[in-house]
Structures are given as structure tokens and as C-alpha cells.
Amino acid sequence: MKQQAATAGGHVKPLDSAFMWRVFYAFAALALLSVTISVGGKWLGKSIAMAGHTDDTTIHEIVIGNNVISAPANAIRFERDRLDRVADRLDLYLHWPDMRGYSEAVRDDFNNVKGAKRIVFVSFEPRMMTRDMSGRFEPIYRSLIDTPGERGPAGITYFNFSKKSGYMNEVLAVAARAGKEPFVARCLSGPSAEESLAACQRDIHVGDDLSLSYRFPTELLQDWQALDQAVTGQAKKMVRTGKK
């Protein structure tokens, strides 16, 4: 079918259907591009707002040695690690005191808005030492600290490391536990502690030859018993081993 168009000289020039289809396709392509930009913009905007976090609670299984760690995506710290895989290490971050991963409700705490320090950083990796931090107190740390120590909150005693120890700008936080080896954590001191989101670190043994280290704000030392129980409890929920 031919359509007619008037020319400058009064003559009528036919427009073929192929030209009209090309015009139609051009407009359709522009409309599709507009939709794509709109949807992509919304997705990119959300991605930027999340700043690497996710509120996805899909459970992923990460295998380290003879252990399977089941963790929700929103508790896995790095985006690249949010998949089922075999790994040498897994890094999590959990909100205190509920010990859950990222969500919109606690976004400010995860982004350290107004200096909020309520995040516990947890790492799983193969065990490198025969003793955990509590077990290392008597055979190792005892000879590296200056005594007497300084009293802290909730039964904690702070010990300065001796100059020969190699631990610069750190103190050892120790608390007695009935019938068990003491609670022990290494903490940054001075300006370094004030600048750090998680100035204290402790490690424990979990699973099958697996080490769990967790870093936490100095302020949580006043709740060290509840904190240690919460971390241990989360490990028991997450870690399965091949042992029978």
C-alpha cells in the first residue's frame, strides 16, 4: 500500500511502507530505552543506597574443611562471598544484641551513623593453633604482660603488654570464669581504640578444626559474658561438621 505526501512543487510523492516501519521501530526502540533507563536507574539507586549491604535472607552454604556454615546473605559481609561455595575463610557481620544481619531497621548502625558501634565482625577459618585465646593465656600471654593489671567493668582486668611482647598499643582484657579458662581478648588502646569500630578481638574453637575470631567494640566488654555466649550460640546454629 502506498501513501502520498505533497512536495514543494505541488507534486505528490509516495511513501513506501518500509520507511514507515523503520520510523515505527525507531520510536519503539526509544520507548524501550526509556523503560530500561527508568528500571536501571531505580536498581542502581537502590544499589548505591545499600552501600554493599543486602537485606536478602537467603541461606548460603559455605564449606571450610570438614565444616558447612549456613549463613544468611545479609549476614555475609562481602558481596562477592554471598553464594554457595568452598572457601578458606568466611567473614560475617552481626548486629548487637540481636545477632542478626543487615536490615533497613538497623541501617544506621551498619553504616556507623553518628558513631554507632553495635556491629560484631565474625570470621571463620581453618584452625592454626592448638589452643584458643583463653587457652593461650597461661602458657603464652601470662609471660607477655605487666602485672598488676587495672580493674575494668564486669570483672575485667586490663593488662598492659610488656615492651618485649611486640604488641604495641594493645592491652589484654581478662576475666575469670568459674570452672573454665578465663575470658581473654586483645584490645587496642589510646587513639587507635577510639577510631576503631571494633577495637577488641577474641578467638574460640568451633566445629571440626575451625577457628572463629570475632571483633567487637570496647564498649561491649561490660557485656562480655552475654557477648561470648551469643557468638558461641550463633556458631552452634550455623556450623555443621562431618563428624559422626
What pLDDT does residue 5 have? 47
119-126/85-86 β-pairing = unpaired
Tell me what the pLDDT averaged over the chain comes to.
Answer: 87
**C-beta of residue 21 within 8 angstroms of C-beta of residue 36:** no
What whole-number distance in Å separates Cα of residue 42 and Cα of residue 46? Answer: 6
Sorting pLDDT into bands at 50, 70 and 90, what band is 115? confident
* Residues of the chain above pLDDT 70, percent: 79
Helices and strands counted in the chain (H then E): 4, 14
What pLDDT does residue 162 have? 95
What pLDDT does residue 242 have? 78
Which of residues 187 and 3 earns the better pLDDT score? 187
Instruction: Flag whether pLDDT at 1 surpasses 60.
Output: no
DSSP per residue over 137-158, as a string?
TTTTGGGGB-SS-EE-GGG-EE
Amino acid at 242: G
In terms of phi and psi (left: phi > 0; alpha: psi -120 to 50; beta: otherwise), the region of 238 is alpha
Listed range (32-36, 93-97, 127-131, 132-136) with the worst mean pLDDT: 32-36
Choose among 122, 126, 128, 121: nearest CA to 63.
126
Instruction: Flag whether pLDDT at 223 surpasses 90.
Output: yes
157-160/170-177 β-pairing = antiparallel
Which strand (E) or helix (H) includes residue 80? none
What whole-number distance in Å separates Cα of residue 83 and Cα of residue 73? Answer: 8
pTM as predicted: 0.80
- Residue 121: beta bridge partners? 93, 215
Region 176-202: what's the mean pLDDT?
A: 95
Please name the residue ranges forming H helices in the chain. Answer: 17-50, 107-110, 191-195, 224-238
pLDDT tens-place string over residues 30-78: 666 655 554 444 444 444 445 699 999 999 999 999 999 999 999 999 9
Q: Is 79 helix (H, G, I), strand (E, B) or coil?
A: helix
